Amino acid sequence: MNACKVNTAENTELKNLFRACGFQTLLADMVATAKTEETQYHLVDTIEKFYEFLNLLVAQRIFAIDLETTSTNPLIARIVGISFSWQAREAYYIPLMVPEGTACLSADIVLSNIRAVLEDKNIKKIGQNIKYDLLVFRRNNILLQGIVFDTMIASYLLNPEKRNHNLDDIAFEYLSYKTIATSEVIGSGKEQITMDQADVAKVCKYACQDADISFRLADVMEPRLKEGALSELLQDIEIPLLYVLAEMEWNGIGLNTHLLHEMSDTLTAKLQQIEKEIYASAGYEFNISSPRQLSEVLFEKLELPRLRRTKTGLSTDANVLTTLAWQHALPKLVLEYRQLMKLKNTYVDALPGMVNPNTGRIHTSFNQTVTATGRLSSSEPNLQNIPIRTEIGRQIRRAFIPSGNDTMFLSADYSQIELRILAHFSEDEALMTAFHQDKDIHSSVAAAIYGVPIENVTSEMRRNAKAVDFGIVYGLSEFGLSRDTGLSLEKAREFIDSYFALFQGVKRFRNKVVDQARICGYVKTLFHRKRFIPDICSEDKKRRNLSERIAVNTIIQGSAADLIKVAMNNIHTRLQEGVYGAKMLLQIHDELLFEVQKDTITLTRSMVQEEMSRAVMLNVPIKVNIKTGVNWMETE
DNA sequence: GCATTCTGCAA
DNA sequence: TATTGCAGAATGC
């Protein structure tokens, strides 16, 4: 049998996988391959064929669609071709870009003829990472509608911990199908497709395969989702959300690059100054950014105490340096240097380069299939970790600006949403009461633990209580708590004990979660998002403990993620009423940032407030704080 | 060039 | 030796 080409590394990997599953069969016999399967892939490259194709297309109620493009960035990409499949092992490819000198259908004619089908919400579409296609179509003034299935999202819901949800991996997992390697068709896959590298027939084969596989996957994955009670989560939350995320990515956010350039110059001057002081303090010049060279200075030259080790040497992280700062001037200088260098390299200097030349704005990617808990992630650039905690860092937020003088930012954030969800699940009397009475939750917890009236809670008491509240959400240990509060291990243990004595509902909830996880092997969120916890019964205490923390945290963090996704969908629907003059720009886990027309700001404010608060009914109130400002710093 | 390690930013 | 992420610089292969 002629199995497809598999490189050595992949081959070994597959064999190991099969061994792990107890299979002895030869690799070649196990895997269906592109080369041994009968497929009918049609190249639609003449106007006659296109009209034939069109006749078939308009008769379909559901099909898979896939775009070949010139770039991985949908806001730059141009369409190379479009593939369709509405029957297993059969697909059509319409090239829109071909080698120079070759004839090709006009993109205008093709797009204008298929537009009605693409924009018909009653004609169902399937895709792999279809948010991408949605954005590329939008650049071509086509508003894709009727999306009912995304194989990437389906794979994510079936196993959110999987690292790759690319089509090749999913096809192998659910269809035992080994695709033609992309590299065989168009090179490394990261390069742009140029017609010198690949002729149309090859691209056709690859494009048709993707649409075909996507179509077949939907068929296989749908029952799997039903089995896992995940269909509603996909249809009611994730698929509608994909449109919202595409809209947010499309909108982008304005950046005052001039301000950032000024900040960069200031930082450069400060850094040079600190650098000089560090060299003077050390006695010689070295690379401050190199942990290895720095530890040589700190621990060999200056003979400062060696506080903590890493895998490869001595740690020089902020904790270590803060402790060492008591004994020597250098660690403090390095801390300052590191802080400024971090801000400069990661934000101040990097962000201006991410501005899209066509729109003059920053367009992040919101990834829907990355986190194990159901949260979104943001990348290129990550706009979910813009500094806020230190004054100098916070200044960076001033550079994020609304598009014009008639617009402002509006930010809306959930107040203590994770603890409210904890109160909801645990039905803890004390916690529920505190929220019903709208008490400051950390002060309230401090008052209970220290046994003082809430007005007598000191800032230190509150700080410690806050650390425990965080700890509960993350799954706490006395070590972690003592590390965070500076309390002794003994004190930290006492603190935790008294917390659980007072909040017995929380204790019961934790035990219940762990028991459930042991029994079914997974935990579920508010909207039935699942995460498997295979190590929950591990013999290894460390792994077991980690699994228990993961179990508790996933329910809380994941439910909070579900909740804000529902709110985003509902707000998006409301915004389409058209009376608001507002755009959703960013989601930062418990916060939404909007750009709003000044004259509709009151209206938008109350709508956002309403939709976020009523996204789901908990047994405690949901509180939302809303602020407006002329830049992102002013809305904090 | 690519992967790993350390570091540090956010919720 | 607290949960989830992304990214830059140094470093090693």
Strand extents, DSSP E, A48-123: 62-69, 79-87, 90-95
Domain parsing of chain A, residue ranges: 23-227, 257-354, 364-417+562-629, 418-523
Q: How far does the CA of A256 sit from the C1' of C8, in Å?
A: 22
In angstroms, how far is B2 C1' from A133 CA? 29
Predicted local confidence at residue A3, as pLDDT: 29
CATH 1.10.1070.20, domain A418-523, yes or no = no
What are the Cα distances from residue A439, in Å, to A157, A459, A471, A614? 36, 16, 20, 20
Which residues surround strand B, with CB < 7 Å?
Answer: A 291, 310-313, 315-319, 321, 335, 338-339, 342-343, 346, 384-390, 393, 588-591
Nucleotide nearest to A546 (CA to C1'): C2
**Intervals of chain A under pLDDT 70:** 1-35, 181-198
For residue A511, what pLDDT is reported? 96
CA of A470 to C1' of B1 (A): 41
Residue A496: which nucleotide is closest by CA–C1'? C2
Using C1' positions and the CA of A588, the closest nucleotide is B11
Task: Note the CATH architecture for domain A257-354.
Answer: Up-down Bundle (1.20)
Instruction: Measure A448 CA to C9 C1' (Å).
Output: 46
Strand C atom within 7 Å of A317 CB:
no
Please, is A305 exposed, middle or buried when counting C-beta atoms within 10 Å of its C-beta (0-12, 13-18, 19+)? exposed
Is strand C in 7 Å reach of the CB of A468? yes
Residue–nucleotide distance: A227 CA to C3 C1' (Å): 28
- Judged by DSSP in three states, A582 sits in strand
Q: Please tell me the predicted confidence (pLDDT) of residue A32.
A: 65
pLDDT of residue A555: 98
Q: What is the CATH number of domain A23-227?
A: 3.30.420.10
Q: Domain A364-417+562-629 has what CATH class?
A: alpha beta
Which nucleotide in the DNA or RNA is closest to residue A291, CA to C1'? B6
Chain B positions within 7 A of any protein Cβ atom are 5-11
CA of A508 to C1' of C11 (A): 48
Residue A187: per-residue pLDDT: 40
Q: Is any atom of nucleic acid chain C found less than 7 Å from the CB of residue A109? A: no
Distance from CA(A212) to C1'(C11), angstroms, rounded: 44
CA A459 / C1′ C11 distance in Å: 44
- Cα distances (angstroms) measured from residue A135 to each of A69, A92, A122, A208, A309: 12, 22, 20, 21, 47
Report, in ranges, which bases of strand C sit under 7 Å from a protein C-beta: 1-11
For residue A240, the model assigns a pLDDT of: 98
- The pLDDT score that the predictor gives to residue A477 is 85
Cα–Cα distance, A266 to A348 (Å, whole number): 11
Residues 6+ apart with CB under 8 A from A145: A118, A119, A120, A121
